[in-house]
């Protein structure tokens, strides 16, 4: 469910008509719904009711400060994967004890930043990282709380580029070696073992991979406890999918995901951490764009819009589908015909949809790319010297720009000319 609905034939974000945002801010623009962010967080919280838990929002999905502030106000923790994300989380008011630091390439500088600023735990991904973290922590006179990420060799049945739990993926330690690595961690003075971490991928549309992975984690928990380790937390990752194709997709609900957690690890008495990102932010955002031209081609027609692959790279990168709808609702029974929806970047890959059945459109019409709140703005670039597009947050009948579109002067000012090329 989201809060982007037609009212009197006009698509609204909560109580704000989208044409009003386009007129005020320009296009293209990302628009986020506070009500949807809030509802999706609450759905996860309800799914885990009765179990000690912390929902750590995976901020790589959408790290705008306003979005993070909404999450922080709801009591969310944060899952961060860089020093920059750690700083963003702290700037949004999230205390260190609610921040989990994930990622395979943490630097010593990032470790120092988090240890000095406060951290709930590091999700350690390798033995070299474990040794480096021990060294940094001892140098600061501290102990680093860790959960070691295990790779359960479970096929998440998702896109190859977002699968993380198979043996050939770069993430985590093979679960068969976990007891050995935990024994090594227990000997390190700068390390404090707190739990186990697992994450098998993103955009999962079935529960069976979770069941398999969590069952292996439950067995490992009991084995590690038998070895004398205190395992008090289980970080079960995120990855639950969203319905990008609303007409024919129905991923599992958070309630059913919660039931899998209860069934597989609920008996262990551990605090549960989960790291949803896409399911919280994905359907909470749309990309609002304007048609520049209708171009008739040889055997196909093109809708050329003012957004491009640098603004939303998922279709070019993953062949990802986003539902595309007119902001002014088509009349009932309106004829649909196939269009290729493309952007102005000089790449054939700058294509959002091929042969997509849509109502007729003309220059100046507004379109909305649904389910664009996750991995949209955060993956954007200034390719072709196109400025990063603004982001807008809606709450009820109010909206505000939460990241402004930079001017060309601001873009150019980030470059510098070396002395030997300067004018004399």
Catalogue the active-site residues. 346
Q: State both tokens at 169.
A: 């993926």
* Residue carrying the six token digits 């971490």: 197
Task: Tell me the C-alpha distance between 114 and 103, whole Å.
Answer: 13
* Residue carrying the six token digits 């196109």: 386
Task: Tell me the C-alpha distance between 13 and 4, whole Å.
Answer: 5
Rg (CA), the chain: 23
Are the C-beta atoms of residues 299 and 80 closer than 8 Å to each other? Answer: no
How many residues make up the chain in this entry? 424
Q: What are phi and psi of 312, to 5 degrees?
A: -140, 100
Pairing of strands 121-124, 144-151: parallel
Is 134 in a helix, a strand, or coil? helix
Are the C-beta atoms of residues 398 and 27 closer than 8 Å to each other? Answer: no
Chain centre distance of CA 7: 29
Is 407 exposed, middle or buried (CB count within 10 Å of its CB: 0-12, 13-18, 19+)? exposed
Q: State both tokens at 241.
A: 């999918």
The total of other beta-carbon atoms located within 10 Å of residue 5's CB is 11
The total of other beta-carbon atoms located within 10 Å of residue 336's CB is 11
Question: Which DSSP category does 388 fall into?
Answer: P
Task: Tell me the C-alpha distance between 214 and 199, whole Å.
Answer: 10
Task: Give the helix/strand (H/E) hosting 133.
Answer: helix 127-139
């Amino acid at each position: 469910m989201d809060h982007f609905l037609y009212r009197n034939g006009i698509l609204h974000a909560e109580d704000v008509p989208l044409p009003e945002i386009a007129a005020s801010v320009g296009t293209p623009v990302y628009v986020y719904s506070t009500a949807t962010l809030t509802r999706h967080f609450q759905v996860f919280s309800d799914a885990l009711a009765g179990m000690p838990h912390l929902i750590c929002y995976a901020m790589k999905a959408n790290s705008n400060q306003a979005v993070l502030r909404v999450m922080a106000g709801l009591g969310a923790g944060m899952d961060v994967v860089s020093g920059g994300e750690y700083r963003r989380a702290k700037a949004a008011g999230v205390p260190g004890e609610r921040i989990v630091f994930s990622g395979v390439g943490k630097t010593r500088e990032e470790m120092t930043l988090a240890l000095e600023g406060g951290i709930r735990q590091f999700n350690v991904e390798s033995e070299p990282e474990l040794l480096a973290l021990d060294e940094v922590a001892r140098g600061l006179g501290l102990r680093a709380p860790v959960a070691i990420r295990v790779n359960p060799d479970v096929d998440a049945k998702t896109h190859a580029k977002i699968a993380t739990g198979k043996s050939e993926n770069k993430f985590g330690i093979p679960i068969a070696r976990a007891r050995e690595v935990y024994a090594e961690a227990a000997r390190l003075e700068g390390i404090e073992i707190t739990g186990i971490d697992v994450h098998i991928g993103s955009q999962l549309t079935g529960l069976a991979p979770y069941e398999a992975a969590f069952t292996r984690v439950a067995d490992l928990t009991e084995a590690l406890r038998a070895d004398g380790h205190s395992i008090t937390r289980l970080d079960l990752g995120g990855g639950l999918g969203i319905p990008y194709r609303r007409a024919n997709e129905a991923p599992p609900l958070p309630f059913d995901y919660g039931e899998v957690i209860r069934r597989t690890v609920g008996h262990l008495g551990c605090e549960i951490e989960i790291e949803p990102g896409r399911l919280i932010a994905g359907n909470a955002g749309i990309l609002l764009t304007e048609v520049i031209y209708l171009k008739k081609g040889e055997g196909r027609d093109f809708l050329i819009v003012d957004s491009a692959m640098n603004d939303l790279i998922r279709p070019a990168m993953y062949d990802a589908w986003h539902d595309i709808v007119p902001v002014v609702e088509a009349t009932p029974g309106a004829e649909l015909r196939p269009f290729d929806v493309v952007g102005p970047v000089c790449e054939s890959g700058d294509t959002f949809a091929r042969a997509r059945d849509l109502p007729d459109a003309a220059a100046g019409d507004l379109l909305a790319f649904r389910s664009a709140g996750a991995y949209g703005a955060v993956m954007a670039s200034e390719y072709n010297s196109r400025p990063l597009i603004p982001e807008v947050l809606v709450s009820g009948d109010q909206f505000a720009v939460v990241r402004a579109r930079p001017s060309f002067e601001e873009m150019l000012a980030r470059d510098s000319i070396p002395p030997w090329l300067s004018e004399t």
